[in-house]
Chains A and B, each alone.
Chain A
Amino acid sequence: MSSFQRWAFGLTVPAALLTICLYVVPILQVLALSFTEPTFGFGNYVEMFGSAAIGRVVRTTMIVSAVTTVLTIVMSYAVAFALVHMRPAARRVALFMVMVPFWVSVLVRAFAWITILRRNGVLNSALVGSGAIAEPLELVYNQFGVIVGMVHYMMPFAILLLYANLSEIDPRIIQAARSLGARPVTIFTRVWLPLSLPGLAIASLFIVIFSLGFLVTPAILGAGRVLMVAEYISVQISSTLRWGVATALSTTLLLVVGVLVAVAARSPALRAAFEGGRR
Chain B
Amino acid sequence: MSPRLRRIGERWLPWTLAWLLLAFLFVPVLVVVPVALTAKDYLSLPTTGISFQHFASLADWRAGWLPSILTSLGIALASSIAATGVSAAFAIGAWVYAGRWPSTLRIILLSPLIVPPIIYAVGMVRLWSKLSLLDSWLGVTIVHVILAMPLAVLAIGASLSNLDPRLVQAARSLGARPPTVFGRVILPNILPGTIAGAILAFIVSWDEITVTLFITSRRLVTLPRKIWTSIADAVDPALAAIATVMLVVTIVCLLLRMTVWERLAQRRS
Interface residues of A (CB under 8 A from B): 3-5, 7-12, 14-16, 18-20, 22-27, 29-30, 33, 75, 78-79, 81-83, 92, 94, 96-101, 103-116, 118, 120-122, 125, 152, 155-156, 184-185, 209, 212-216, 220, 229-230, 233-234, 237-238, 243, 246-247, 250, 253-254, 257, 261, 278-279
Contacts and interface: CB of A to CB of B under 8 A. Distances in A.
Given A15-B149, A30-B122, A105-B224, A184 B10 contact: yes
Interface residues on B, range: 35 or more
Interface string B60-79: 00000000000000000000
B90 A12 contact: yes
A253 B235 contact: no
A26 B126 contact: yes
Contacts of B122: 30, 233, 237, 246-247, 250
Given A108-B32, A254-B115, A279-B161, A155 B25 contact: yes
Given A30-B126, A250-B119, A7 B254 contact: no
Interface of B: 10, 14-15, 17-19, 21-26, 28-29, 31-32, 35, 43-45, 86-87, 89-90, 92-94, 96-98, 101-102, 105, 108-109, 111-112, 114-127, 142-143, 145-146, 149, 153, 158, 161, 172, 178-179, 181-182, 203, 207, 209-210, 213-214, 224, 227-228, 231-232, 235, 239-240, 243, 246-247, 250-251, 253-255, 258
Contacts of B92: 8, 11
A112 B31 contact: yes
- 10 shortest A-B CB distances, which residue pairs? A213-B116, A11-B93, A26-B123, A82-B18, A15-B90, A7-B178, A8-B96, A8-B97, A97-B26, A12-B93
B45 A125 contact: yes
A9 B93 contact: yes
A104 to B, nearest CB: 5
